[in-house]
Structure 1
């Protein structure tokens, strides 16, 4: 019996054209945010530490400004609706696995037919003086990268004997997951990693390209 296809799709810079966390920081310019981004990219600090410290720079008194900016700043990458329709038609399981935050991911994805239990992301708490990020999907005992939202933990729940696991992503939060799956659709920084490790990947700029390749994979 052939394996069932399952897709793990990043949000920031993948479903969306822009990286929303970086866009928020660039817009509100809290002191020290840019150094934290550089430290995450260079792996001087973990993703969890970097993202947590970035949002801790923003006071909760600006909650509505931050939320409104994050939601209205989003541009969805071309072909996303068509990809979801294709997955439904072909019974391909589709999960959003994102290092982004619930306060912008859930409102944006509410416009699409994705069950909430198929969306994995970080959570937020606005009760204190500054924004606190919470980590409901932290690394399991097999991952020691302090991911925050650990994509490999989720991917490992789906056996390669039963599932053909496909990742769609673009950047550092996708690096570890890309090493586990059978096929990667990559753009931006993730292409360099896939080249370096000789992973099975296909570059993309929109979801129409991915749909075409998925059709070829099933032919």
Structure 2
């Protein structure tokens, strides 16, 4: 299940009731967080400030495939001993939402489009940025984090067989929305977005994900910020036959 702010597709009790309208209410827009919803990789902001300096050597190992994604996500945070409150304060001071995300959240809310964040990031730093921006009502599917005397412990809430190397399985979340009859539009940028992009009806992509979409011929739009996504949703809502992209 998603974080306590949400109970699954179309059932977030803390989300303001949407105004139904248009022809886009069967769409779910699922967004990656680091380097997508957030301009920066917020995990890197946290680790650069609070982890041991050598943590960055893991980035190359991850991209070279010499360590599995789950290990890449967990190992750097093992050296972090700062409090949750101090880390969240750092995130609020240093992280930024990508332009247009707040406007897209309101656009989706008004039109009954489900919008959620699907991420390998940790819940406490995702929450810190969303709360600062007044968007704490958005459903999120992050990795859970517990602060203990031994360090941060990880809780993987969204998994499925065959996806153990990743910990959190973004595709399992996409599958939930597809099973609920939603047409999934996916927004992302990186390696962890490859699997969900292949399941989505339309992908909004940048950087490495854009290269994948071009290589594999996936239906996609390049995006710079979320005004591009809103513009495409608006065009989609104006089509005589909204079932056709």
Fold shared, TM-score > 0.5 on shorter chain: yes
Displacement of 1:148 in angstroms is 2.0
Q: Is the 8 A contact 1:3 1:161 kept in 2?
A: no
Equivalent residue number for residue 41 of structure 1: 63
For the structure 1 residues 157 and 33, does the alpha-carbon distance in structure 2 shift closer, same or farther, using more than 3 Å as the test?
same
Q: Is the 8 A contact 1:3 1:162 kept in 2?
A: no
- How far apart, in 1, do the equivalents of 2:165 and 2:141 lie? 16
Task: Name the count of aligned residue pairs.
Answer: 215
- How far apart, in 2, do the equivalents of 1:85 and 1:65 lie? 30
Equivalent position to 2:150, from 120, 126, 129: 129
> Is the aligned partner of 1:90 residue 2:108?
no
Displacement of 1:64 in angstroms is 4.6
Displacement of 1:158 in angstroms is 2.4
**Mean Cα deviation higher: 19-28 or 94-103:** 19-28
For the structure 1 residues 68 and 161, does the alpha-carbon distance in structure 2 shift closer, same or farther, using more than 3 Å as the test?
closer
Q: Is the 8 A contact 2:91 2:129 kept in 1?
A: no
What aligned pairs does 1:30-179 form with structure 2 within 5 A after superposition?
30-58=52-80, 60-61=81-82, 63-110=84-131, 111-113=133-135, 115=137, 118-137=139-158, 139-141=159-161, 143-144=162-163, 146-159=165-178, 162-179=181-198
> Is the aligned partner of 1:201 residue 2:223?
no
Tell me the TM-score normalized by structure 2: 0.79
Gapped regions of structure 1 (runs ≥ 5): none
Equivalent residue number for residue 8 of structure 1: 30
Q: What SS does the aligned partner of 2:79 have? A: coil
Q: CA RMSD in A?
A: 2.3
Gapped regions of structure 2 (runs ≥ 5): 1-22, 239-245
Q: Deviations over 1:163-193 (max 9, x none)?
A: 2111011112211111111110011221111
- How far apart, in 2, do the equivalents of 1:211 and 1:36 lie? 36
For the structure 1 residues 113 and 34, does the alpha-carbon distance in structure 2 shift closer, same or farther, using more than 3 Å as the test?
closer
- How far apart, in 1, do the equivalents of 2:90 and 2:136 lie? 23
Displacement of 1:41 in angstroms is 2.3
For the structure 1 residues 121 and 71, does the alpha-carbon distance in structure 2 shift closer, same or farther, using more than 3 Å as the test?
same
Displacement of 1:2 in angstroms is 8.4
**Mean Cα deviation higher: 14-23 or 151-160:** 151-160
> Is the aligned partner of 1:24 residue 2:43?
no
Equivalent residue number for residue 209 of structure 2: 190
Tell me the TM-score normalized by structure 1: 0.88
